[in-house]
């Protein structure tokens, strides 16, 4: 039975934003931990660590997020776990975010002038102190804009979780569309909500980028 | 302990390779058409009248801040309601072109803006024709500037194109879906499919790097 697309449908779709936000938050939190580990490994002295981190990044940047989600989804079954879209989506998006954030933060760490590292070493600081009190605070400033930019990509990426049965914004849109068959209105609404989430972040990233570029030239 | 079973996957390797070829064709076509869209939009954005600039801005921002999956649903399910019927492969191509066009516009615009006015004036002063100035003074250095961004955008496009399998377009991911529904060796199928995507991404990066070395190695100023 087809019912008209109305206010209640818009509210239903709006309510699903929280699941998109929750999944994005989990992926970003997990990805921040994983990404830091990858970035540190990528800039480590030990060659095998650098190679390992590079392979991890290549693997996740060179394959579709959709396939990563499928592998997490079906891989859990192989490990004898019950199929759970929440867990599969969180795992796949966390690993995905770890690779991308790892690469972004590697760049930020390497952008800190090498004199800083040499000076810290000359002052007798060990790796931990050198990183936490000299390198990382400076790298963090450099990394803010591209990190916010990646957040946009991650929020958009969570829409693919709908394909493995995770009910978030896009999946709710599909369900509403099946009942109302008003695809332009339904997916236009869904797109508008994504836009409201992503556009402010995009603007923020761009503004920070230009401000940072202006502050660091000359 | 789970027993991996790759035999049915490798037995159907030809199906997957046909899918991979479709993915390559679809991405290449989307890139080629998308580049035309990008150049036109970038020109409109850098030197068009103001309303046109706003229109291009709205297009670029709308596409870059919404997921590709929603864009393809919007087009594939929406267009038939206004009487435009597209088969899944055409809808997939259309969605990829629209998506790539937005990212490409920004890349090409950055390239055009990287050429200083003085360069063009110098070219004209040297007695080059307008076409020569456009070809050698604007296009070649602009292309060299944006080439790395364009090629990584192509690889990103190719990976994103796996999403078109959800509207039953016949690409590599769809070939994987088809095979897993027949064999039930889901993990094995997607592992091999993921491997093929990785090989495509690595292969194309290598080809693009070789082209860059062959075409764009002329001395840089400064």
Rounded Cα–Cα distance for residues A119 and A106 (Å): 20
CATH number at residue A169: 1.10.3720.10
Q: In the predicted model, is pLDDT for residue B3 greater than 90?
A: no
Question: What is the domain extent for residue A49?
Answer: 7-216
Q: In the predicted model, is pLDDT for residue A218 greater than 60?
A: no
Rounded Cα–Cα distance for residues A152 and B66 (Å): 9
Domain presence at residue A189: yes
Contacting residues of A for B166, CB less than 8 Å apart? 163
Taking residue B12's Cβ as centre, other Cβ atoms within 10 Å add up to 18
At B1, is the pLDDT very low, low, confident or very high (cuts 50, 70, 90)? Answer: low
Using an 8 Å CB-CB cutoff, list residues of chain A that contact chain B: 58-59, 61-68, 70-71, 74-75, 77-80, 152, 156-157, 159-160, 162-163, 170, 173-174, 177, 181-184, 187-188, 190-191, 194-195, 198-199, 202
Q: In the predicted model, is pLDDT for residue A198 greater than 50?
A: yes
ipTM of the complex in this document: 0.93
- Please give the C-alpha separations between residue A49 and each of A41, A42, A130, A163, in angstroms, as whole numbers: 5, 7, 19, 34
* Contacts of residue A42, Cβ cutoff 8 Å, sequence gap at least 6: A49, A50, A53, A54, A57, A102, A103, A106
Q: In the predicted model, is pLDDT for residue A216 greater than 90?
A: no
pLDDT for A214: 81
Task: For B109-130, write each residue's pLDDT tens digit.
Answer: 998 888 888 988 999 999 999 8
- Determine whether the interchain pair A202/B67 forms a contact, defined as Cβ–Cβ distance below 8 Å: no
SS3 state of residue B126: coil
Domain presence at residue A18: yes
Contacting residues of B for A163, CB less than 8 Å apart? 69, 166
Mean pLDDT of A105-116: 95
Mean pLDDT, rounded, of chain B? 91
- Give the nearest chain A residue to B163 (CA atoms): A66
Rounded Cα–Cα distance for residues B119 and B109 (Å): 17
| CATH number corresponding to B24-169 | 1.10.3720.10
Closest chain B C-alpha to A118 CA, distance in angstroms: 29
Q: Which of B66, B163, B194 sits opposite A160 (nearest CB)?
A: B163
Angle, alpha carbons B139-B142-B145 (nearest 5°): 150
At B222, is the pLDDT very low, low, confident or very high (cuts 50, 70, 90)? Answer: very low
Contacting residues of A for B106, CB less than 8 Å apart? none
Task: For A43-55, write each residue's pLDDT tens digit.
Answer: 999 999 999 999 9
Contacting residues of B for A191, CB less than 8 Å apart? 62, 66, 70-71, 74
Interface test with B, best of A66, A148, A184 (most B CBs within 10 A): A66
Nearest Cα to Cα of residue A129 among A119, A141, A142: A119
CA dihedral (A158, A160, A162, A165) in degrees, to 10, reads -110
Cβ atoms of residues A131 and A112 within 8 Å: no
Cβ atoms of residues B161 and A160 within 8 Å: no
Cβ atoms of residues A56 and A42 within 8 Å: no
Whether the predicted model's global pTM rises above the 0.90 cut: yes
Cβ atoms of residues A105 and A139 within 8 Å: yes
Q: How many domains does chain A have?
A: 1
Burial of A176 (0-12, 13-18, 19+ CB in 10 A): buried
pLDDT for A43: 94
Dihedral sign for Cα atoms in the order A14, A200, A171, A4: positive
Cβ atoms of residues A35 and B168 within 8 Å: no
Q: Secondary structure of chain A in the HEC alphabet?
A: CCCCCCHHHHHHHHHCHHHHHHHHHHHHHHHHHHHHHHHHHHCCCCHHHHHHHHHHHHHHHCCCHHHHHHHHHHHHHHCCCCCCHHHHHHHHHHHHHHHHHHHHHHHHHHHCCHHHHHHHHHCCCCHHHHHHHHHHHHHHHHHHHHHHHHHHHHHHHHHHHHHHCCCCHHHHHHHHHHHHCCHHHHHHHHHHHHHHHHHHHHHHHHHHHHHHHHHHCC
Determine phi and psi for A172, rounding to 5 degrees: -60, -40
Instruction: Map out the domains of chain B as residue ranges.
Output: 24-169
Q: In the predicted model, is pLDDT for residue A1 greater than 80?
A: no
Token code pair at residue A15: 């309510």
- Give the nearest chain B residue to A187 (CA atoms): B74
- Please give the C-alpha separations between residue B120 and each of B91, B113, B131, B134, B139, in angstroms, as whole numbers: 41, 12, 11, 8, 11
Q: In the predicted model, is pLDDT for residue A153 greater than 60?
A: yes
Mean pLDDT of B59-83: 95
Task: For B126-179, write each residue's pLDDT tens digit.
Answer: 999 988 888 888 878 888 889 999 999 999 999 999 999 999 899 999 999 999
């Amino acid at each position: 039975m087809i019912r008209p697309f109305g206010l209640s449908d818009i509210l239903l779709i709006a309510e699903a934003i929280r699941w998109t936000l929750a999944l994005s938050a989990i992926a970003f939190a997990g990805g921040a931990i994983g990404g830091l580990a990858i970035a540190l490994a990528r800039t480590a002295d030990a060659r095998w660590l650098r190679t390992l981190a590079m392979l991890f990044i290549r693997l996740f940047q060179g394959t579709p997020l959709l396939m990563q989600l499928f592998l997490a989804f079906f891989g859990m079954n192989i490990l004898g776990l019950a199929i759970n879209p929440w867990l599969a989506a969180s795992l796949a998006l966390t690993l995905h975010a770890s690779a991308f954030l790892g690469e972004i933060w590697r760049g930020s760490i390497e952008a800190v002038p090498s004199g800083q590292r040499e000076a810290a070493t000359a002052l007798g600081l060990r790796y931990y102190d050198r990183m936490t009190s000299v390198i990382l605070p400076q790298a963090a400033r450099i990394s803010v804009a591209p990190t916010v930019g990646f957040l946009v990509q991650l929020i958009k990426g969570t829409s693919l979780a709908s394909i493995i049965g995770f009910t978030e914004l896009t999946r709710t849109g599909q369900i509403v569309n099946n009942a109302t068959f008003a695809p332009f209105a339904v997916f236009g609404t869904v797109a508008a909500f994504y836009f409201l989430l992503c556009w402010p972040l995009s603007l923020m990233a761009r503004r920070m980028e230009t401000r940072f570029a202006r502050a660091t030239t000359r | 302990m789970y027993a991996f079973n790759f035999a049915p996957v490798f037995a159907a390797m030809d199906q997957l390779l046909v899918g991979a070829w479709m993915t390559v064709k679809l991405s290449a076509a989307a890139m080629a058409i998308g580049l035309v869209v990008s150049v036109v939009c970038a020109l409109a954005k850098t030197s068009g009248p103001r309303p046109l600039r706003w229109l291009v801005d709205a297009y670029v921002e709308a596409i870059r801040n919404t997921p590709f999956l929603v864009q393809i649903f919007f087009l594939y399910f929406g267009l038939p309601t206004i009487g435009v019927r597209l088969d899944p492969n055409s809808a997939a191509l259309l969605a990829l072109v629209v998506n790539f066009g937005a990212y490409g516009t920004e890349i090409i615009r950055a390239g055009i803006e990287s050429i200083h006015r003085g360069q063009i004036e110098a070219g004209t002063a040297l007695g080059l024709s307008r076409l020569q100035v456009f070809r050698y003074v604007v296009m070649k250095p602009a292309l060299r500037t944006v080439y790395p961004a364009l090629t990584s955008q192509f690889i990103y496009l190719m990976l994103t194109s796996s999403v078109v399998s959800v509207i039953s377009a016949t690409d590599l991911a769809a070939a994987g879906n088809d095979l897993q529904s027949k064999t039930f060796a889901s993990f094995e199928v997607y592992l091999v499919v993921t491997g093929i995507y990785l090989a495509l991404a690595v292969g194309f990066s290598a080809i693009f790097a070789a082209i860059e070395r062959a075409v764009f190695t002329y001395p840089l100023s400064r």
